[in-house]
Amino acid sequence: MAEPGVTQRLAAAGAAFTDPPAEGTVSTEPGALDAAGTRSPLSGLLGPAGGPVTFEERPFVGKLTLRGDPSNADFMAAAGKVLGTDIPTDPCRFVEHDGFRVHWIGFDNWLIHVPEGAEGPLKTKLEAALEGIHSAIVDVSDYYTVIRVQGAKARRLLQKGCPIDLHPRTFGPGQCAGTVFHHAAIFLAQTDADTDGGASYDIQIRWSFARYLWDYFVDGAREWGG
Amino acid sequence: MLTIKCPWCGEREQIEFTAGGEAHIARPENTAELSDEEWGAYIYTRTNPKGVHYERWVHSHGCGKWFNAVRHTVTDIFWDVYKIGEEKPAVPEDWDGATTRAQYQAATQKTAAPDGNEK
Amino acid sequence: MSQSYRIEGKGRIDRSKPIRFTWNGRSYQGYQGDTLASALLANGVRLVGRSFKYHRPRGIMTAGSEEPNAVVQLEEGARTEPNTRATMAELYDGLTANAQNCWPSVEFDVGALNAKLSRFFPAGFYYKTFMWPAALWEPLYEKIIRRAAGMGESPEEIDPDSYAQHFAHCDVLIAGGGPAGLSAALAAGRTGARVILADEGAEFGGSLLADTVEIAGKPAADWIAETVAELTAMPEVTLLPRTTVSAYYDHNFLTLTERVTDHMGPRADDSVPRQRFWKVRAKQTILAQGAIERPLLFADNDRPGVMLASAARTYINRYGVLPGREIVVFTGNDSAYPAALDAKAAGARVEIVDLRTDPKGPLVDHARAQGIEIHAGCGITGTRGTKALHGCDVAPLSEDGKSLADEPFSIGCDCIAVAGGWNPTVHLHSQARGKLSWDDTKQCFVPGYCQWPTRSAGAGNGTFDLAGCLDEGLKAGAAAAHEAGFGKGAAPEAPAVELSEEGPARQVWIVPSDVPLGHGKKHFHDHQNDVTAADIHLAAREGYVSVEHLKRYTTTGMGTDQGKTSNVNALAVMADIRNARIPEVGTTTFRPPYVPTTFGAIGGQNRRHLFLQERTTPMHAAHVANGAVFEDVGDWKRPWYFPRDGEDMHEAVQRECRQARETCGLLDASTLGKIDIQGPDAAWFLNMMYTNKWDTLAVGKGRYGVMLNEHGMVIDDGVTTRLAENHFHMTTTTGGAARVLGMLEEWLQTEWPERQVYCTSVTEQWAVCTITGPNAKALMADLTDDIDVDPANFPFLAYRTGTVAGAPARVYRISFTGDLAYEVNVPARHGLAVWTTILERGRKHGLVQYGTETMHVLRAEKGFIIVGQDTDGTVTPMDLGMNWIVSKKKDDFIGKRSHSRSDTAREGRKQLVGIMTEDPNVVLPEGAHLVNQPGKPPIAMEGHVTSSYMSPNVGRSIALGLIKGGRDRIGDTLHAPMMDGKTVHKVTLTEPVFFDKEGKRTNG
């Protein structure tokens, strides 16, 4: 085994790893702690490079859920002002503004994606702006991770387990949906359409289901040389 | 495997939903004042009809929202869906469970129109 | 015998590509484009199997998926597949197949003795023979039946191939790519609609592939090629050859099985799936699966060499194989005449036995002109030959067709091509709840009303002429596309086809013989399950006249072919007996799948590590590295215990339990459900959801709560902490996380939408390290600089935020062990590092990491319940002795009213108590029942053990249980009889707290 196990790599990253006094055994988990002492669920895993479908983890995307009453003009105005854009009221749509992405999840429920680290300041700003208005902002950055799937076969790969119709006639850039991929609940957003008939999707998946989904993608991409 | 229309997200596969039983069974206000029979009726008694059924669904793996639906229990065809708090839609007596509300209304209009080119 | 039955220059096979294959251990040659069936026939192999019950020699009967006889065991070892239809198995180099259902060989079959004993195998044989004594069912009868049944062998090794699933949506799904299906695809495709066209064959064309007809002045093959080329060029049309539409479910959901690489044979590389299971939602469907020819019911109609006339023609024209050199065509209609003509042209000696007394028309004239002798008004009364057909007896029939009008005469032949009319393939229509109606003119069932948006076209709709098929297909395609929102619904004009007019048919459902039915000769209608017309007569005599009873009693139509060739004939025999019309007898409902489908395809990728998701916590890598043994808790993999060198589970758990109480212990509690609850009505809401009061809870403090359903029964528990005036953090059990959130949402959305509360699951946002034990405080002090961990300043059930092991943390003073404990919650990304840091810093504090088993023991020592283990949905808080948690001050909460219902309020309900065995070393099995006095059953059960462990801290075994009236019986002696029927353990009921009864340890 040329590849060092997680124990060794964790040790290299400065983490103690023994249950006193027993020395641990080698793990098959490839991920290790990063320099900041944090670790994402798919850390270290690599998807197929090149080829008609590629996928990769986007670790630590900042994620906030925003709850509020869309019929409350004060709420809509205050939230929109902080975000710099009207929050979407059309079902299954998202808007992008200044590195923020605001997704419609439910009629009173939005998911905001921001660059890593921006979630804290944004939460503070939103909470201040929504003071006295019934609303809730919850940091779920670590609840989920995001897998970006793209390429000519991206849609085919997703349709191996996702029952919603991703055909360009019914689903396109700017659309998002809560749905399933076999046993996993996923939140899917189409970020852009490629020119070669493929597309790019961000799949938000719960931390504990991320490996399952990843392994499914790895297995599913094999027929295209993944 | 049914196709169910979420009032917000549109038509989705049944595996995204969870069934919630009969609709319009309000929780009694003053539970302490109810007789055993009245309380028992609230928690146990359901209509279980052959035909038109007002029922609840939740788009559990989609937007997470509850809604109501009218389904024909023989054909499994939905007359329509409606949001919580919206009025219970009336179903025409001659509805045989073979069409959706939209199809039924289109057919009725076609029959009514004198120049309708009904096949 | 090297392909001596090949016809020079005929067929769609590629003679430049010879293929070697092995049948029953012998090597043969065929060509690219052959099926196993056509290659066997080309080599003169007639005998391909033994029948199911009588082990009679059987040959290839059809050229399609309806084949009842030639079902073979394909390949060997891990890839072996039973019940493969030789007529559908495309030949590939190295193919290996064996006859199934015969032993030791198809040529010499011991089971054929059954044929000699056939009068002992009547309808209902198994029911009658193996009825008594019933006790012998499992040990004896089942084995005999299984052995005799011999439906092939399952592979015993793991399937080395890969499979895939694919969800698809389309405007129009077309099942069947023959003349009607191709036409439909063309018409629908031209509108721009999304079309899927699936055909079970290797090539599109269906019946046209075996025909010599011209379409639009060109050979049919050219029309097929042009049509397929046009469809291929349409970006929204998906063409799926080798794909069977196998099931039609509600709301136009259909499943298709695509045989992606089966025709290439076994491959070492499994990256491309062998089969793909399509799950298609279609706005509209067009069923164009064609029709299956009906065999004729005549005496000994099962000899190898008897086949459908349409199959004979397919072998001649499509595969270039002569099915016999001396062919008798036995028919009651004109549709078999082209087969006779093609056979004659290919060099066979052909005679026609026609049930009609005066057949006429252009086809009949043509046959006569070719010198084919026609025996009009005659039927076949018997056949000769055992392993191969070598002759038949023919006699003129009476006017009513029920008896012979003259003595039989013999004709030598090695093939009888039978044509008893056509049955539209209505299976999918029927699966879709479609009604069937009987067409008296065509003498067949045709599709009737269906509630789903579907239409049938072509032969599958009872339209048997080619011009009609093309026209109907085009119209169906245009109409379906229009209803799906594409095109105006106008169909393109159908191409011209030269019609050969067919004369009227004569239907004789049971062809008489020189002996009475069932005496010495057999009229088989179900060839696969060996059911004869005489069996139906017997069933009728015994009162099984309803179709559903008949089917089960005689097993007709219950083979792997689902009676595709036999059902209507069986109905006709019953109709004859009952003197009723066929539709009055009825028809059985067709059920999916249309053809046998491999489990591999249905499972797709959902196997091995993808069969069920394994959910793991952020600390999982450490657990693996530290040698944890994992327990499945729902989908979660939780560390069960952490054995050290040489320890078994018991030793490891005892060590972990002791050490956690003596020094300190560390548990990964990340799987606990966590819900963020916010809003002005949050406290009101918690008051409704929990039995105790929440509006009085101070900010920064937590409280234990139990949650009930409206029946008043405990469904979950956990500690909820007030983070701010209108902000709570709820914890639930691991298994209850999703269920509890679902329940909260259900009440909020459907019952109290006006209440201002928002719930958000945060279960996996937080990694949770629980530190417990006397040294927990000291360890915590080593981990944090900004939280005062002294219990004096950080009291039980309080909550603090700060930095722990370098990570931002929320710390809760919650204890599930009864000892001083801290639940350290950190964002999941920090979980692994914090865990390993705690382990390292814990070294000097004697820290032990422990798993779920130790967690269970420690909480049981304190009598803390686990919902789902000590409760089962029938237990109230009062049953658990937790009256203290049920508020008497609140007017209402979920489940409150049920507590005053008579059964919930009665005396003598099962209540939670402690259970001590007389022998402290005995650990009772969980689930063990307790009785007052041991004795002979039946004994009244007093209750059962819910939790049971060896507790090192109590120094003996301890148990919890639910016992009738248990709270009033503390100190009583009961007995626990064991499964061995001999051992009985004496036990005493106790209070359900075994350790630190005063609760002194909570604050260290």
Interface check C687 vs A, CB under 8 A: no
pLDDT band at B119 (very low <50, low <70, confident <90, very high): very low
Compare CB distances from A183 to C612, C622, C624 and report the shortest one's residue. C612
Residues B95, B82: Cα–Cα separation, whole Å: 18
Compare CB distances from B16 to A105, A109, A179 and report the shortest one's residue. A179
Q: How many CB atoms lie within 10 A of CB B115?
A: 4
Look at the block and give the residue holding tokens 């064609």.
C290
pLDDT exceeds 90 at position C249: yes
Interface check A99 vs B, CB under 8 A: no
Phi, psi of C550 (to 5 degrees): -55, -45
Interface test with C, best of B4, B24, B29, B31 (most C CBs within 10 A): B31
Phi, psi of C137 (to 5 degrees): -55, -55
Residues C952, C956: Cα–Cα separation, whole Å: 7
Among A28-37, A74-83, A206-215, C327-336, which stretch is predicted with the lowest mean pLDDT?
A28-37
> Which residues in A lie closer than 8 A to residue B62 (C-beta atoms)?
177-179
Q: Do B63 and A105 touch (CB under 8 A)?
A: yes
Assign domain B3-112 one CATH number from 3.40.640.10, 3.30.2270.10, 3.30.450.40, 3.40.50.720.
Answer: 3.30.2270.10
Q: What is the mean pLDDT of residues C550-575?
A: 91
- Over residues C720-748, the pLDDT tens digits come to 999 999 999 999 999 999 999 999 999 99
- Give the pLDDT confidence score for residue C695 in this predicted structure: 95
pLDDT exceeds 50 at position C948: yes
pLDDT exceeds 70 at position B106: yes
For residue C198, what are its two tokens? 């699936």
Q: What is the mean pLDDT of residues C55-60?
A: 91
Cross-sheet strand order for the sheet of C664-668: C799-804, C807-812, C821-827, C766-772, C664-668, C847-849
Find, among C618, C748, C726, C746, the residue nearest to C676 by Cα.
Answer: C726
Helices (H) and strands (E) in chain C, counts: 24, 49
Give domain limits for chain A: 54-59+143-224, 62-139
Q: Do C898 and B27 touch (CB under 8 A)?
A: no
pLDDT band at C134 (very low <50, low <70, confident <90, very high): low
Residues C593, C526: Cα–Cα separation, whole Å: 19
- Over residues C31-55, the pLDDT tens digits come to 999 999 999 999 999 999 888 778 8
Residues A55, A58: Cα–Cα separation, whole Å: 10
pTM as predicted: 0.93
- Give the pLDDT confidence score for residue C604 in this predicted structure: 96
DSSP letter at C820? S
Interface check A207 vs C, CB under 8 A: yes
pLDDT exceeds 90 at position A20: no
Q: Do C760 and A183 touch (CB under 8 A)?
A: no
Question: In one letter, which amino acid is C655?
Answer: R
Interface check C281 vs B, CB under 8 A: yes
> Which residues in A lie closer than 8 A to residue B59 (C-beta atoms)?
178
Interface test with A, best of C744, C757, C764, C837 (most A CBs within 10 A): C764
CB C707 within 8 A of CB C690: yes
- Give the pLDDT confidence score for residue C501 in this predicted structure: 76
Residue % of chain A over a pLDDT of 90: 75
Residues C313, C338: Cα–Cα separation, whole Å: 8
Interface check A179 vs B, CB under 8 A: yes
CB C458 within 8 A of CB C181: yes
Interface check B108 vs C, CB under 8 A: no
DSSP state string for B49-69: -SSEEEEEEE-TTTT--EEEE
Alpha helices in C119-163 (DSSP H): 125-129, 142-149
Question: In one letter, which amino acid is C539?
Answer: A
Q: State the first-to-last Cα distance of chain B, in angstroms, to the nearest integer.
A: 31
pLDDT band at A33 (very low <50, low <70, confident <90, very high): confident
Cross-sheet strand order for the sheet of B18-22: B18-22, B52-58, B66-72, B78-83
Q: Do A143 and C610 touch (CB under 8 A)?
A: no
pLDDT band at C312 (very low <50, low <70, confident <90, very high): very high
Find, in chain B, the residue whose alpha carbon is nearest to that of A185: B61
Q: What is the mean pLDDT of residues C621-643?
A: 95
Q: Do A180 and B15 touch (CB under 8 A)?
A: yes
Strand partners for C769: C668, C824
- Over residues B18-47, the pLDDT tens digits come to 999 999 999 999 999 999 999 999 999 999
Give domain limits for chain B: 3-112
Element (H, E) at C758: strand C758-761
The CATH superfamily holding the domain A54-59+143-224 is Probable tRNA modification gtpase trme; domain 1 (3.30.1360.120)
Residues B86, B64: Cα–Cα separation, whole Å: 18
CA distances from C928 to C839, C942, C948, C979 (A): 38, 11, 10, 9
DSSP state string for A94-148: EEEETTEEEEEEETTEEEEEE-TT-HHHHHHHHHHHTTTSSEEEEE-TTTEEEEE
Restricting to B residues 50-89, those with a Cβ less than 8 Å away from any Cβ of C are: 56, 58, 60, 64-66, 75-77, 84-85
DSSP letter at C138? I
For residue B2, what are its two tokens? 């049914």
Residues C258, C170: Cα–Cα separation, whole Å: 17
pLDDT exceeds 50 at position A5: no
Interface check B10 vs C, CB under 8 A: no
| C9-20 core/surface letters (b: 16 or more CB in 10 A; e: else) | ebbbbeeeeebe
Find, in chain A, the residue whose alpha carbon is nearest to that of C277: A160
- Give the pLDDT confidence score for residue C124 in this predicted structure: 65
Restricting to A residues 68-107, those with a Cβ less than 8 Å away from any Cβ of C are: none
- Over residues A165-222, the pLDDT tens digits come to 999 999 999 999 999 999 999 999 999 886 666 899 999 999 999 999 999 999 999 9
Domains and CATH numbers, chain C: 163-291+424-483 (3.50.50.60), 296-420+503-585 (3.50.50.60), 663-850 (3.30.1360.120), 859-888+901-1002 (3.30.1360.120)
> Which residues in C lie closer than 8 A to residue A28 (C-beta atoms)?
624
Residues C38, A203: Cα–Cα separation, whole Å: 50
Q: What is the mean pLDDT of chain C?
A: 94
Find, in chain A, the residue whose alpha carbon is nearest to that of C626: A24
Domain spanning A62-139 has what CATH number? 3.30.70.1520
- Over residues C820-867, the pLDDT tens digits come to 999 999 999 999 999 999 999 999 999 999 999 999 999 999 999 999
Interface check C613 vs A, CB under 8 A: yes
Question: In one letter, which amino acid is C741?
Answer: L
Interface test with C, best of B43, B59, B73, B117 (most C CBs within 10 A): B43
Would you call C113 exposed, middle or buried from its count of C-beta atoms within 10 A (0-12, 13-18, 19+)? Answer: exposed
- Over residues A56-98, the pLDDT tens digits come to 999 999 999 999 999 999 999 999 999 999 999 999 999 999 9
For residue B37, what are its two tokens? 């029979």
pLDDT exceeds 70 at position C144: no
- Give the pLDDT confidence score for residue C135 in this predicted structure: 61
> Which residues in B lie closer than 8 A to residue A185 (C-beta atoms)?
61
- Over residues C287-304, the pLDDT tens digits come to 999 999 999 999 999 999
pLDDT exceeds 90 at position C126: no
Q: Where are the beta strands (DSSP E) in C220-343?
A: 237-240, 243-249, 253-259, 275-287, 291-293, 306-308, 326-331
pLDDT exceeds 60 at position C505: yes
Interface check C267 vs A, CB under 8 A: no
Residues C952, C854: Cα–Cα separation, whole Å: 11
